[in-house]
Amino acid sequence: MIRYICLIVLVLHSSFNSNISENEINSIAVVPFQVLGDIKHSKIYSHGLPDAISHRLSKLDNIKVLERIKLGEVLQEIKLQEYGFTSNEDAHRIGELIGADIIIMGNIHNLSSDIRFHIKGICVSTGEIVFSILKYFTISEFYDFSNLEYSISVDILKAVKNDHTIDQQVRPNKISERSIEYFKKYSEGLFYFDNGKKDLSKQYFILYAEEHSNDYWIQEVRKEAQKMFNELNQQSN
């Protein structure tokens, strides 16, 4: 019974370090999550999910989210994508290179019976953990990407903003089921870009950039895909 309750209830633990206040958080970067265990469509969780979280964070006042193309260039330079993000030192190094106050990193672990998320916010200047979030999802909950993305994004937003009404501000913009198929293409593009395969990443970005739809998330991510494609083209010319 206890195990069953744990699977149904999403567990959240968020704590702020007393050495940093919300007003000191001016710039944030969300790095790709590390996926542990066999997970279908892993790139949408390792790369697409952090990007969707970044998008929601960018809607907050007084918070700057670092540009994705700059983050990708840093990941290529230090080649951490080959090994995953395993330590606070990794976050500190990335943050210094891109000028972020907070780096958000996470692990997604397939435990067979359920999926565990452990997400941390690391203060770049001190290397300390600003907040820590631990959540468990059943398999069916995990593969319901729209609700999963929204749930995790809101928890991170609350941790960063320390505002428990934040879900009311972002609720209208959940990823639709239709947009997820297109979102997978964009996630593939991010994965190849972070690993230095720019020509291959452009192929996926242009597939998304060409999609026209009134769907909110397709429109928003199409802009990002087009921007990534254009900047990569400029670099190759």
Q: Where are the domains of the chain?
A: 9-173, 177-236
What pLDDT is recorded for position 10? 40
Radius of gyration of the chain (CA): 17
Half-sphere exposure of 135 (CA within 13 A, CB side): 23
pLDDT range class, residue 6, cuts 50, 70, 90: very low
Mean pLDDT of the 175-188 span:
81
Selection from 138, 133, 126, 178 nearest residue 158 by Cα: 133
Yes or no: say if 19 and 144 are a contact pair by the CB < 8 Å rule: no
Half-sphere exposure of 85 (CA within 13 A, CB side): 28
**Which tens digits make up the pLDDT trace of 74-87?**
888 776 555 455 56
CA separation (Å) from 156 to 37, 57, 93, 200, 213? 23, 9, 22, 31, 28
User: How does DSSP classify residue 66?
Assistant: P
- How far apart CA 46 and CA 50 sit, in angstroms, is 7
Q: Round the average pLDDT of the chain to a whole number and report it.
A: 80
pLDDT range class, residue 98, cuts 50, 70, 90: confident
The topology (CATH level 3) of 9-173 is Rossmann fold (3.40.50)
pLDDT range class, residue 176, cuts 50, 70, 90: confident
**Which tens digits make up the pLDDT trace of 114-168?**
999 999 999 888 888 889 999 999 999 998 888 899 899 999 988 887 777 777 7
Question: How much is the pTM?
Answer: 0.83
- The token pair at 165 is 């009404």
**Which tens digits make up the pLDDT trace of 41-59?**
899 999 999 999 998 888 8
What pLDDT is recorded for position 14? 42
What pLDDT is recorded for position 136? 95
Q: Which of the pair, 160 or 211, is modelled with greater confidence? A: 160
The burial of 155, by beta-carbon neighbours within 10 Å (0-12 exposed, 13-18 middle, 19 or more buried), is given as buried
